[in-house]
Each structure stands twice: as C-alpha cells, then as structure tokens.
Structure 1
Amino acid sequence: MKDNIIIFLLACMGGFLFFTIHSPLPWTLGPLVITLLWKTLRKKSVYWPRPIRNTGLIFLGYAMGSPFTIQVGHQILGQLPGMLMATFATMTISLLVGWFTSRRTGVGIINGLIGSVPGGLSQMAVICEEIDGADVAVVTLMQITRVLTVVFIVPMLAIYGLSNNSTPIPLFAANAPLNYAAFLPFVVVCILSPQLAKLLKVPTPYLMGPTLGTISLIIGGYDAPHLPQYLTALAQIAIGIRMGADITFDGLKNWKSIVLYTFGGVLLVITMSLGVDYALTKFYSISFLTAFISTAPGGITEMGLTAMTVHADVSLVVAYQLFRLLSMLILGIPVIRWWLMRRAVRNVVETNI
C-alpha cells in the first residue's frame, strides 16, 4: 500500500510536469514515464493493482461514449465502406512492415507478423501464447514499441500539426454542479457492463463495456452528463502507471534492433495512412484531423483521449478504432494463424522430401 501511494504521488507530479510543458496526453504520458524511471532507478518492478487501472478505464469508457448521438450513429453506418478501406490498408501495411522487421532482426516471421499487428497489446500477448513458435517477450516488446510510438507521435502531430483547438486536461478545473440523479443510470450501466462485455469476450471490456453501455442509454433517450475533468485526469493517471509498470526489456539481447525497426515501421504506417485519411475526407464530410486519429495504428484508449483533447469527433474515432480491432481479432488473427500453420506444414513436408 505504501509503495502504491508513493508511485501515485510521483505519477501526479509527472502528469503535472508534462501538463506544464504542454505535452500531449500529459496525464497519461507523465505517469508512464515517471513509473519507468522509478522502477529503473530502483531496479525493482512496480506493482500497480489491476482493479485500479480497470476503474480508470471505466471512467474513460463513459467519457468516450457520452458524446454519442443518434446523428453520429447514422454517420457511422454511412461510413462502413470507409472503415473497411482504412482497416484493410492499415492491416496490409502493418503486416508488410512485420515481414520486413522479421527479415532484418531475425525474430522470425511469426513474431514479426503478430508483433506488428495493430491490435490491443494485451490481446496480442495472449494470442501469441496460443501459436507455436511465437515468443511472448518479442511480441510484447514490439507491441509496446508500437503503442508508445503512436501514443507520443500521433497526439503530437494532432495537437501541434493539425489542430488549432487543443485543450490539455487539467487535474482540477471548474465544473458545473453535478446532477447526480442524471448520472445514476450511467453509473449502474458502467458498473455492470464490463462483466457483460467479459462474458461476450469483447476486447478491453472495462473500456468498451462502459463505452457501449453509455451509447445504449443515449440511444434509449437518456442525456449523458459531462464528466468532471479531474476524474478524467485521475483515470489517465491510473492507466499511465499501469502501462509503465508493464513495460520491461529483460531477457532480450537484440532488443535495440527490434525497437529500432519497429519504430521505423510504425512511422511508415502512420505516414502511409495519410493517403487513406485524405480519401476519407473526400468521400465523407469529416475533418482530416478526425480521419487521422481514426486510422492511426494505436489503441482505442489512447486515440480516444487524443480525440477528446483536440476536440475531434470522439464517437467516430472510437468507432473506427473498434472496427479495426474487432476485424483483426475476429478475421485477421485467424487468417494469420491459418497461414502460419499451412506454412509450417509445408516446411515439414519439404524437409522430409
């Protein structure tokens, strides 16, 4: 408990420091960096309870679902072709980058492909345990590098390159008086929905459960009250600490080359996605900023927060990110697994001949 309090206080200081220097996502990146530095200096791992992180995800899930409207729902249905195009383009480029990385670093084609898939970090780590020949440490390192690259670069470009309307989220800010009666239905749904999402095997249930649950209530006619900014900031702190605590480079001799090629690959994916973003702005009435964040190869949490910061269309960003993640988990990973198994069988046959 004492260590948890210390790391929390340090994380708050890190978030405030990053906020002071106008860093993108200061209340996520500040705690993440401080946690990494703290455990590196102490040469000791940091324990941060998963339930605290999950509570932070619940608050962010509500914050991401609350901007949804019926009009946004119609807009999403009308953009399914665009979601398919963006998902196919991102997946194809990412897999090509993974193949190239495997050739240059010697990590193997299996690790290269799974490590480059733009899915959830935790989901990819679990999936690689189910595939023969996959190295959990390598895949996790590649996924962490991908996530950190996107978390730092995409918000930086979105805030300082594509937006003139960014508002870093402070820890404490003036808010209108809370309407607790209006919040009550959403509180109940946000508490129960993660359990239902887990039963349905929805990715990132503590985030997507409240997001989808909040959207369902809005569709049902309820108005979602604005979440106080200090709660959003504290939720980000809880998530940032956990991200920093989970990162480790132990046991990988060639980790530098893996990180280098993965970093370069992610930059290539982000750069090439700009063409897809331009096409989306031509086909649909969305801003280039929203399209850019929607197609970025990051996670739903990080890209949702970025959209909130720059006042992009949060619901549309979450929809695109969720569509890509589900497509990868439901279709992409099974296809990759089938191809790898077929390739392994063919190699065995050729060896016996």
Structure 2
Amino acid sequence: MTVLARLAVTLALLGYAGAAGVIAQLAGTPLPFMLGPLIAVALLVCTRAGRIIPDGYGFPQWVRIAFISIIGLMIGAQVTPALFENAPRLMLSLGALTAFVVIALGGNYLLFRRLGGYDRPTAFFSAAPGGLYESIALGEAAGADLPRLMTQQFLRIVFVVSVLPIAVSLHLGQPVGSAAGVSMAHGPVPWSALPWLLLAGIAGWLMGRALRLPAPQLTGPLAVAAALNLAGLVHLDVPTWLVNLAQVVIGTALGMRFAGIGRGMLLKGAALAGVSGAFMLVLAGVFALLLMPHMGEGFDTLLISYAPGGVTEMGLIALSLAANPAFVTMHHILRILLTVVAISALGRRLRA
C-alpha cells in the first residue's frame, strides 16, 4: 500500500470508530470513547464487512504510541508527594501484589490446562496476569501455540476493560465516570500548551525506551509529567478533546487485533477468557476488601489497582472513575514487573 492509501484507510477507520464512540456516549456506556470504538472495529474485522479493509493494512503503531503517550502525561500530572509518604503502605501493597500474581498465575494455569486442554507451555504463558508482549515472546521461545497464546492474552485485557467499569457502576448503584458526565480532563486548555505536551511526550517516550521501562510509551511520559509536577516546574493539562481522541485511537488499535483470528479459536478463547477474567476480578475484589482497612483507599480504587488489564487501559478507567489514577497505575506497573519476573523464572524450569 502507498502512504496516501494507508493514511486514507486510517482516517476512515478513525472516523468510523469516533462515530461509534459518540453513540456509546449517548447510550451511557462507561468509557464510551474507548469501548465504543473497540467493539465497533472488532465487529468490523471479524465479519465479512472487514473485506473493505485492504489486504496488508495494519493500524500504524506510531499513531497508537503517540496517543498512549498523551494518556501517560495525563496520569503523570496526577502524581503528588502524598503518593510516596507512607512507605509501610507501599510495602504492604507490594507483598499483596506478589501474592495476587502467584495465585492468579496458578489458578489460570489449571484452568487453561484442565478446562482448555492446552499444552503446558501454552497454558502457562496464557495464564500470566500481565506482561502481554513479554508472555508472548517467552511463550514462543518455549514452544507455545502462538495464535492461541496471543488470542488468550489479548482477550484477557479486552474482558477486564469491558467488564470492570460496568461492575464498578453496579457496585456503587449508579453510573460512574464518563457515563455520569465526569470528564477525564480539566477545563479549557490554551492551544499554546500543546507544544509543551508534544515535547514532554517525545522526551518521555525516548527516556522510557532508553531505560527499558515496561510499556515505555506510557510510563516514560508518565515519569516526565510526574517529575515536572513534583518539582513544581510546570503542570501539564491535557484538553478534553485530545483525551477523547486518544481513547478512540487506543480502542481502534485494540479492535484491529481481532483481525485474522478464526471463529472457533475466538469463541473458545472468549469463553476461557470470561472464566479466567471473572476468577481474577473476584480475586482482585477479595484483595481489595482485605486491604481497605490498611491502605486508606476505597474499594473501587483498590479493585481497579489489582484488576489484570493493560496499564494504559486501566489508567484510563481510573481517570474516568476519578479513582486515584497515579496510585492505580503504579500498582499495574509493579504487577507487570512481578509477572515478568515470575514467568521468566518459572518458564526456564518449564523448558527444562
């Protein structure tokens, strides 16, 4: 495909996804500008209608990275000194996260091995409650069934991102976040602020790659915005329209990943992802209830902190629900690091 043709397809796809986001917002769906595009694009690429997308087209990764950086900047702007004041609380949370990863990994392995009938490497790396790219890379090296592993890991994120906002709404007995009219950004932001956002996003992404941070396109800009905020140098505000556009781009990129997945594999993977996701959400709820008296955070914040979705997506949910996004994102980064350490160490024994 030519560059112009690829650009035209991308713009058309984003226009379609953006319309789905507006419809989802009118319907009162939680996180409408991400879930609406995700569902609409997934339905498009999984049906015959997907034939309108030219062969060889893939959603541009640089576009996805750029808008994930925007979300990282927004989350980083929420970081305050109070987040690091209570060291015993952080140590307790780290210990609880370690226990969560071990229990979730073991429970999921039994599920995929016994109920799914997967071979040992595929079941083990599909069971990882985090580290999407790392689990796929390590699983491929261990001889796992790569299409099943990719499907299972991706559906884990989709399930949690789709179910969690609705579950929190039901728990509280009322619409929350964007469904209740809560915005994830502040009021009017001058156009003069956009160049600073661009510079901070690029600097953060380059720093994240250089330091090999997990999800560098998110964590790098997050760290830069947090450092600027903590030092009192500048507070980066992201306009509402840019936040909504970032969600549309992320939802579109997630939906495009359904392309090429066979119907049988998708149905089986979705059923297993539903059981696995429900197990991990219940487990996260148990940890949230146990930690509430000791952490000084509400049940919804702790539930989102332990729910095994993607870092970017869970940060968006936290922003939407006003659930201490910096606290939530810190937990998900730690969860991914712990998961990668666990599957790396145990994966060597599995290969042996």
Q: 1-side partners of 2:295 and 2:164: how far apart?
A: 22
Structure 1 residue 100, shift from structure 2 partner: 2.4
Which of 31, 35, 38 aligns to 2:41? It is 35
Match of 1:269 among 273, 280, 287: 280
Looking at structure 2, the residues matched to 256 and 68 of structure 1 have their Cα atoms a distance apart, in angstroms, of 40
| Deviation beyond 3 Å, 4+ runs, structure 1 | 43-46, 75-78, 162-165, 169-174, 183-187, 248-255
CA-based RMSD? 2.5
> CA 1:25 to 1:120, structure 2 compared with 1: closer, same or farther past 3 Å?
farther
The separation in 2 between residues aligned to 1:288 and 1:324, in whole angstroms, is 18
Mapping of 1:82-93 within 5 angstroms?
82-93=93-104
Residue aligning to 1:25 = 31
Name whichever of 135-144 and 116-125 sits farther off: 116-125
Aligned in 2, Cα 1:303/1:254: closer, same or farther, shift over 3 Å?
A: closer
| 1:332 maps to 2:342 | yes
> Does 1:314 pair with 2:325?
yes
Structure 1 residue 180 and structure 2 residue 192: aligned?
yes
CA contact (8 A) 2:138 2:344 kept: no
Match of 1:347 in 2: none
Aligned length: 339
The answer as to 2:165 corresponding to 1:159 is no
**Which of 169, 187, 205 in structure 2 is aligned with 1:194?**
205
Partner residue in 2 for 1:205: 216
Correspondence for 2:60: 49
Alignment of structure 1 residues 295-310 onto 2, 5 Å: 295-310=306-321
- The one-letter amino acid paired with 2:58 is Y
Q: Distance in 1 between matches of 2:312 and 2:34?
A: 10
Other structure's SS at 2:177 match: coil
Alignment match, 1:60: 71
Q: What is the CA-CA distance between 1:299 and the residue it aligns to? A: 1.2
Secondary structure of the corresponding residue to residue 161 of structure 1 = helix
Q: Which amino acid aligns with 1:137?
A: P
Match of 2:230 in 1: 219
Give the drift of 1:164: 5.2
The structure 2 residue matched to 1:3, chosen from 9, 29, 34, is: 9
SS at match of 1:67: coil
Distance in 2, Cα, partners of 1:106 & 1:233: 41
Partner of residue 257, structure 1: 268
The gaps in structure 1 that reach 5 residues or longer are 343-353
Offset of residue 128 of structure 1: 2.0
Deviation string 1:88-117 (CA, Å, 9 cap, x unpaired) is: 224322332222222222221211121121
Corresponding residue of 1:134: 144
- 3-state SS of 2:349 partner: helix
After superposition, residues 71-90 of structure 1 pair within 5 angstroms as 71-75=82-86, 78-90=89-101
Contact 1:99–1:109 under 8 Å retained in 2:
no
Deviations 1:143-185 (A, max 9, x none): 122111101111111234237573317999993342836x765
Query: Given the superposition, is the C-alpha separation of residues 158 and 76 from structure 1 closer, same or farther in structure 2, using an over 3 Å criterion?
Result: farther
Deviation string, structure 1 residues 117-145 (Cα, Å, up to 9, x no partner): 111333322332222x2121111111122
- Tell me by how many angstroms 1:241 deviates: 0.8
